Structure 1
Amino acid sequence: MKLASYADGSRDGHLVVVSRDQTQAHYASGIATRLQQVLDDWGFIAPQLQDLSVQLNHGKLRHAFPFEPAKCLAPLPRPHGWAVVNADGAVRREAGALLGAGMPLRAAARCEPALMVIAGDLQAASDAAAALDALRLMGLAVDWRVDGELVATHAAPLVVTPDELGDAWAAGRLQAKLVALHNGSKLAPRDVAAVPADALVRLARLRALRTGQLAGVALGALDLTLAPGDSLHLDLKSADGHASLFCAIDLDLTPPAA
């Protein structure tokens, strides 16, 4: 299933289920209103959302409506932590809220995309099998840094269960293509191979992970820094470059006031 949080004036937004083709959505009201509720009672709530997803994909929900990514907050706006695991195994532990995919930046910054992983509770020193079993949802995020300091983290509109990834997901590994457009000009696509369970094992090496903790698998910094007036389109697609897995992050860097 695919999930998103629609802006409704609250800090957490309202949970919606999104169709497989990302064209339709339906409020999850009556099942759960926030993603954190789902994570806290995954075994009970997730199957109900899955049933709703099946009905939505078959066009059987009368109150479905067109999905609009621009109306989304980050899927989990207030996580219990955000930590990114680099390719060398080093961990960067961050803090703070996640921003929606369209929230503008206010200062020039360096772009560091990551596969975002949401897991259930995971005991300290868990192995890869336990970590994979605890994996709930995945998405796309991007850290923005100025002089090495984190200034913002944006998240793509959707988080999805592994079964929604199709051929992009096999044996616990995501194989995809990172596509970026800077001011409308396409950068060279980058092949991505990520093993989320390995990142979770690394984070849980010394302490247990709590439901709602977000783990990131670093996908390598883009060789660019946004300047005032710039725009960036960032998307993680299927390996053939056709299907968007999590919807794109579209950002503008606000020009200075006149």
Structure 2
Amino acid sequence: MKLASYKSGRDGQLMIVDRALQRCCPAGDLAPTMQVALDDWSNTAPRLQEHYERLCRGDHSETTDFDASKCDAPLPRSYHWADGSAYVTHVELVRKARGAEMPASFWEDPLVYMGASDAFIGPEDPVAAESEDWGIDFEGEVVVVTDDVPAGTTIEEAAEHIKLLGIVNDVSLRNLIPAELAKQFGFYQSKPWTAFAPVFVTPDELGNTWDGARLHLPLRATLNGKLIGAPNAGQDMTFDFPTLIAHCAKSRSLISGAVIGSGTVSNVGSKDGSCCLAEVRCLETIRDGRPSTPFMSFGDRIRIEMLDHEGTSVFGAIDQRITPFEPSRG
């Protein structure tokens, strides 16, 4: 099934959306919000599925046209957001561009950081920054959402805890990153709110494109109408989602609604293009000695979307403008 959240308060109103992303109906008393549904998923999901099937058949009595502009993130805020860097070829490329060696451990032990989950933003909400000098970049990623995951869960067990999938724009402020990482304490200011496509989908909706660990479809990133890349999310993913989940749950349990990100989707050699400008710039640096593609500017429009083999949008599109914000400094 496919689920969205219309904007309503801080946690949204859970909506059931048909397969074609054309019609929807409120989940109502079944689960007023996505978090409520996830907290009792084993009981709530079958009941939501019944309404979804009726919606797709066209015999549900409470339907309206689905409007992505009304959408918040499907899970407007989460107790846990852990983002990986599962496409190690991307990390290798970035380090090569700056002349840094690649530690062997990067191929064996996942890179993960905790991001800001107190608020996620919707598919058409603007990306706001104080200055273009911050190096505004998009990052197209796949995410999974879990139920409760006990501490010490194995990779084999972790796959059963994946309940929903989605795609995100994990915005990065590239020019703030070096100073933060130099402190050896991780990202903070350089990782603002993450934007989500309109809907989450259950694994069964993805057919054979989902193998239980990786999603084998291209992720398209288009900037100002120009396709930047469409790398396949199922290729060159060094650490699959069960591995990332088991890594995150090594020393503590994960609570229902935990969102686990893949990191920027990237294929070896980037023959199908890139899902972030940083990678484009690294390739230029390796080829030409310096980057020529700028980061995003105010007014730019970024669209991120995943299409199935028939060309149909799976999750709906992230479609955002880059806008300035005025800082409040008293």
With the length of structure 2 as denominator, give the TM-score of the two structures.
Answer: 0.73
Please give the per-residue CA displacement for 1:158-213, whole angstroms capped at 9, x wherever unaligned: 00100011232124321010111111112232111153212111111222111122
Which residues in structure 2 correspond to 1:66-105 (within 5 Å)?
66-87=65-86, 88=106, 89-95=110-116, 96-105=118-127
| Counterpart contact for 1:138–1:159, Cα < 8 Å | yes
Q: In structure 2, how many angstroms separate the alpha carbons of the residues matched to 1:187 and 1:150?
A: 21
Q: CA RMSD in A?
A: 1.7
> Any stretches of 5+ residues in structure 2 without a counterpart?
87-105, 178-189, 266-274, 279-294
Q: Which one-letter code corresponds to 1:184 in the other structure?
A: G
After TM superposition, where is structure 1 displaced by more than 4 Å over at least 4 residues in a row? none
Question: May I ask how many residue pairs the two structures share in their alignment?
Answer: 255
Contact 1:145–1:152 at 8 Å: present in 2 too? no
Identity of aligned residues (%): 32
Contact 1:192 1:219 in 2 (8 A): no
Q: Show the counterpart of 2:7.
A: 7
Q: Which moved more, 1:247-256 or 1:81-90?
A: 247-256
User: In structure 1, how many angstroms separate the alpha carbons of the residues matched to 2:42 and 2:68?
Assistant: 27
Deviates more, 1:148-157 or 1:51-60: 148-157
Bigger drift between 191-200 and 119-128 goes to 191-200
- 5+ residue gaps, structure 1: none
Question: Per the alignment, in what secondary structure is the counterpart of residue 37 of structure 2?
Answer: helix
1:141–1:155 CA contact under 8 A, matched in 2: yes
1:222 to partner: Cα distance: 0.7
Bigger share in helix = 2
- From 140, 143, 164, the equivalent of 2:205 is 164
Aligned equivalent of 1:118: 145
SS at match of 1:176: coil
Give yes or no for contact 2:68–2:198 (8 Å, CA) kept in 1.
yes
* 1:185 matches 2:244: no
- Residue 172 and residue 144 in structure 1: after superposition, are their counterparts in 2 closer, same or farther (change >3 A)? closer
Q: In the alignment, residue 25 of structure 2 is paired with which amino acid?
A: H
Give the aligned partner of residue 127 of structure 1.
Answer: 154
Contact 2:143 2:165 in 1 (8 A): yes
Instruction: Pick from 277, 287, 294 the counterpart of residue 223 of structure 1.
Output: 277
Alignment partner, residue 141 of structure 1: 168
* Contact persistence 2:140–2:219 (CA under 8 A): no
* Alignment TM-score, normalising by the size of structure 1: 0.93
Q: Which moved more, 1:164-173 or 1:127-136?
A: 164-173
- Find the structure with the greater CA-based Rg: 2
